[in-house]
Amino acid sequence: MKQKQENNEKFKTMIGGQALIEGIMMRGPEKQSIVVRGPEGIVVKTEPLKLGNRSPLAKLPLVRGVIAFGASMVNGVKALLYSAEFYPEEENAEPSRFEVWLEKKLGSEKLEQAVIYFSAVLGILMSVGLFILLPTFISGLIPALHGNYFLRNLIEGLLKIVLFMGYIILVSQMKDMKRVFSYHGAEHKTIRCYEAKLPLTVENVRVQTRMHPRCGTSFLLVVVCISILCGALIRVDNTFARMGIHLLLLLPIVGISYEFNRLVGRHDNCLTHILTAPGQWMQRFTTNEPDDGMIEVAIKALEEVLPEEEGSDEW
């Protein structure tokens, strides 16, 4: 019999996480933890956040969203690569000549940093190319849309939504990603349990809902939707000029999306429930129900970053 999922939120925490390969990263106000269930058991890595060198710009509306997004991409890739070390694809595989040359020139530590930043930038470029630039390019191939800016933006917007949803749905069907998305569900459920001020036990976490309004999936959907609204302001026919304008608008769009998620995530009313509903619906594809072992990993990851002063992590 399927258990009824609960949502008894008593407060909102700033603690957030990310699903990894057989693990979870949690980021709190003072510390970050990575907990992985490796072949020999649970491995825990906890480190303090570097808060001393934060720029005042990081507190400015709109700007803080861009900085937070960039930092989350880099930290996410770093944590993902760390978790992947416990599950190498080929145990006896020898490094290529190119890898040997890079390590010789850069050194292992610099090479690791280069891989992290390259992966983060590549991920952003692929997302921008697929969900922002490709729809603009495709609409430019339709002569009937030239000069009809309303219809062209409508077609571009539909293409963005279809490509985004299609990508999410296809990825959710991949065998390896099903487990990652189950860990994603465990992360959400554990945070829900904590926000309900219940003891962090497997039993209490298991019955929580796996949907959460302050999720990365919701943020990406908001970015796509706001890019559609901003596209209505572009009154240019040349396809490459339109693509260039979309690129120029990207940073403001990310900043606006962050502020939107921050605003609706802090309030509970009919309007915010409506605004967050599409993102939580998309989470049906990016989160799966976890098993008890995954919940144990999520609980451990969350416990590692809980602040010493109760309530200091309230969002």
Q: What is the pLDDT of residues 227-282, one digit of tens each?
A: 999 988 899 999 999 999 999 999 999 999 999 988 888 888 888 889 889 999 99
| CA-CA-CA-CA torsion sign (293, 297, 298, 304) | positive
Q: Which residues pair with 37 in a beta bridge?
A: 42
What is residue 165's predicted lDDT score, i.e. its pLDDT? 93
Give the closest residue to 132 by CA, choosing from 276, 279, 280, 251: 251
Give the global pTM: 0.85
The continuous run of DSSP H or E covering 16 comes out as strand 16-20
Mean pLDDT on 30-40: 92
Q: Which amino acid is at 3?
A: Q
Tokens 């609980």 appear where?
A: 299
Question: pLDDT-based confidence at 1, cuts 50/70/90?
Answer: very low
What band does 95 get if pLDDT is binned at 50, 70 and 90? low
At 42-84, the pLDDT tens digits run 999 999 987 544 667 777 888 888 888 888 888 888 898 888 8
- The pLDDT score that the predictor gives to residue 55 is 65
Distance CA 256, CA 166 (A): 24
pLDDT score at 315: 79
Is the Cα torsion angle 156, 161, 165, 168 positive or negative in sign? positive
Sheet containing strand 31-38, edge to edge, reads: 16-20, 23-27, 31-38, 41-48
pLDDT at 106: 55
